[in-house]
Amino acid sequence: MHAYKNSKLELLEFEKKYTQSIIDYYRFVIRNEDKTIMARFGKIPDNWDNYENPDGINLTEVVKSRLSDVKKKKAWEIKLQSLYIFFVTNLENKLLSVLQHNYIDEVELNETIDSIENLMLEIDDELFNIKYMLLTLAKRSISDLYYLVSAYSKFFLKKNFIFETDIKLILKEIIKEFKKNNLLNREIEILLQINDEISDLFTKSSNEFRWRLDELSVRDYFEKSNQHVKIIELNKIVRTAYQYKKNLLNNYLFLKFYYNENDGKLFRLNFVYESLKVKMSENKISAEVFESYNLIRESFFKYRYQFEVVGLVGFGSEKLSYYELLDFIIRLCKVMEFYYLRNMNYDALQLLRNDILYYTEKEMLTLNS
């Protein structure tokens, strides 16, 4: 049990290193590229009134106008990227963290929700081409947000992503995910409280679950409270926990889909890697630029490998992993089974087994095998 806990801590460290590698790449490579580009465009005057054509060069008014437009456009693009880089990468990282159910401060998450809502207003105003900006950031390996929301649409909404018609829909779905995350944080605390409450009702065992129900303790547990109220409370909690389990599983499968090497994030990293390797061989980029990018790719390799090591067993909140959640659900079902059998409520018993217990036990045994 402690092994995957340690693996999860390592995963978080690899995630930090991967994120830092992107930050460094932007600071020391992309920004320097932008400075170089603007230095070249700086040769184009802002005002052509006093400009004199060099010997042998005749710039027509049409060419001058076109050069001025190109300079303004490139300056505007670079300015937009620098203005939105934090928001775009923050949204991307927050969404991935929420899907993994890593802890995020509620105030911080709510601030990101406000930013998304502001972005949707800007999409309505059409002040600039947001799609082009996102694709440019992806092409420059600063952010993968465009492809993340595309994968989100394909996996969760079962539809191919069309930016013009779907971006606001996806952003609204992301807001729902963020708000749900705040609620889930509170629900997890309740699940942990109930888990502590029923922990003394079990003793160690050599069976496949490594514990067994102590029926005398369970009898006392119900008799010291209003049994009718308690079973209603437990029934609500076990269904909340089971729904949370389904959400976690779905999120885990999505991340495997998004990270894949066939058409996912790893594919894009490898594609850019091969492209930059060719450019370096042609002396179009320096070895330092190539190695700086490759650090991102290598960091992601390590992160993805550790993600696979942690697997579904350790996926989810640090407070309550997927495996621990399964164990909690089964324990709670066993407590409820005792109550239903003792009170001869066979309909409720069968419903609990058919809806939750049978599938959860089967999954737990599969993970243990």
DSSP symbols for 192-244 = HHHHHHHGGGEEE-SSTTSEEE-HHHHHHHHHTS-HHHHHHHHHHHHHHHHHH
- Residue 51 near residue 45 (C-beta atoms within 8 A): yes
Closest CA to 112 of 86, 138, 133: 86
How many CA atoms, within 13 angstroms, populate the side-chain half-sphere of residue 39? 6
CA–CA distance, 88 with 62 (Å, rounded to integer): 37
Q: Token digits for 320?
A: 């309550």
Q: What is the mean pLDDT of residues 138-158?
A: 96
Q: What is the mean pLDDT of the chain?
A: 91
Q: Which two tokens stand for residue 273?
A: 């890697």
Domain ranges of the chain: 2-368
The tens digit of pLDDT for each residue in 253-276 reads 999 999 999 999 999 999 999 999
Count CB-CB contacts under 10 A for residue 285: 19
Cα–Cα distance, 249 to 304 (Å, whole number): 17
Strand partners, 53: none
pTM for this prediction: 0.90
HSE (side-chain half, CA atoms, 13 Å) at 260: 9
Q: 299-341: per-residue pLDDT in tens?
A: 999 999 999 999 999 999 999 999 999 999 999 999 999 999 9
C-alpha to C-alpha distance for 42 and 198, rounded to whole angstroms: 71
Q: Which amino acid is at 368?
A: N
Query: Position of tokens 């042609």?
Result: 282
pLDDT tens digit sequence for 276-288: 999 999 999 999 9
- How large a percentage of the chain has pLDDT more than 70? 98
Residue type, 66: R
